[in-house]
Chain A
Amino acid sequence: NAGVTQTPKFRVLKTGQSMTLLCAQDMNHEYMYWYRQDPGMGLRLIHYSVGEGTTAKGEVPDGYNVSRLKKQNFLLGLESAAPSQTSVYFCASYRGGDVDTQYFGPGTRLTVL
């Protein structure tokens, strides 16, 4: 049981390049989330999904797209990276029900030059 995994762990992009971050969970959780963490700002929600085939915008969705084609995977895409997207990205998953908690992946550190 690996929990929540993220690929890649580190990446450096040039402005305008595109990339996809992969989040995978093996806990059969319904809900999945993408957050970004920036110094002094805590974690902010980018997009989330309440089930396979669904996605919704969070607090800071601009410049990102997501897809949830399979229940266990949640992809975060950057179509044209900008320096403002330099951040640490965390994925989380959640079974559902008010008493459960979100489980976080180890993070992806992205630098956009």
Chain B
Amino acid sequence: AQSVTQLGSHVSVSEGALVLLRCNYSSSVPPYLFWYVQYPNQGLQLLLKYTTGATLVKGINGFEAEFKKSETSFHLTKPSAHMSDAAEYFCAVSYTGTASKLTFGTGTRLQVTL
């Protein structure tokens, strides 16, 4: 069965520091990969996605992620954290031919401190 692992349920960074949120997936077929952000008491908003093509994907709010097939990873990064980045982040995977059902990781809560 396909699965998604997010290492670290809570990550704390200082404002201006690098943000690195980790995501690994397990599957035997090529995945489509997504990062969603959830602000308190809101729904999920898509940050970025990888389907095919360039493995470095740029998203909204200065975030980017790189698909590394050899490492089965899709880590999310942002060079300089801002207070407004504090939220919960979810990595998700889907596969062609599966009605685009998403399998989510358990989420990482990002805290940004002054």
Taking beta carbons and an 8 Å cutoff, which residues of A are in contact with B?
A: 4, 31, 33, 35, 40-45, 48, 50, 56, 58, 90, 92, 94, 96, 98-102, 104-107
Give the number of residues in B that approach A within 8 Å (Cβ atoms).
25
A102 CA / B96 CA spacing, docked (Å): 14
Taking CB atoms, residues of chain B closer than 8 Å to A98 are: 32, 51, 96, 100
Shortest Cβ distance from residue A2 to the other chain B in the assembled complex, whole angstroms: 13
Taking CB atoms, residues of chain B closer than 8 Å to A100 are: 100
A66 CA / B107 CA spacing, docked (Å): 27
Q: Does B28 have its Cβ within 8 Å of any Cβ on chain A?
A: no
B102 close to A45 (CB less than 8 A): yes
Partner of A102, one of B4, B9, B41, B100: B100
Shortest Cβ distance from residue A98 to the other chain B in the assembled complex, whole angstroms: 5
A94 CA / B98 CA spacing, docked (Å): 13
A26 CA / B30 CA spacing, docked (Å): 31
Could you give, for residues 92-104 of chain B, a 1 whenever the CB lies within 8 Å of some chain A CB and a 0 otherwise? 1000100111111
Taking beta carbons and an 8 Å cutoff, which residues of B are in contact with A?
A: 4, 9, 32, 34, 36, 41-46, 49, 51, 90, 92, 96, 99-107
Partner of B90, one of A43, A50, A107: A43
With A48-B99, A58-B101: A105-B90 Cβ-Cβ less than 8 Å:
no
A107 CA / B99 CA spacing, docked (Å): 22
Select from chain A the residue with minimum beta-carbon distance to B9: A40
Partner of A44, one of B41, B42, B46, B104: B104
B32 close to A50 (CB less than 8 A): no
A45 CA / B25 CA spacing, docked (Å): 17
A35 CA / B90 CA spacing, docked (Å): 14
Partner of A41, one of B46, B49, B106: B106
Selected A-B contacts with CB under 8 Å, 14 pairs: A31-B100, A33-B102, A42-B4, A42-B106, A92-B102, A94-B100, A96-B100, A98-B51, A100-B100, A101-B34, A101-B49, A104-B43, A106-B42, A107-B41
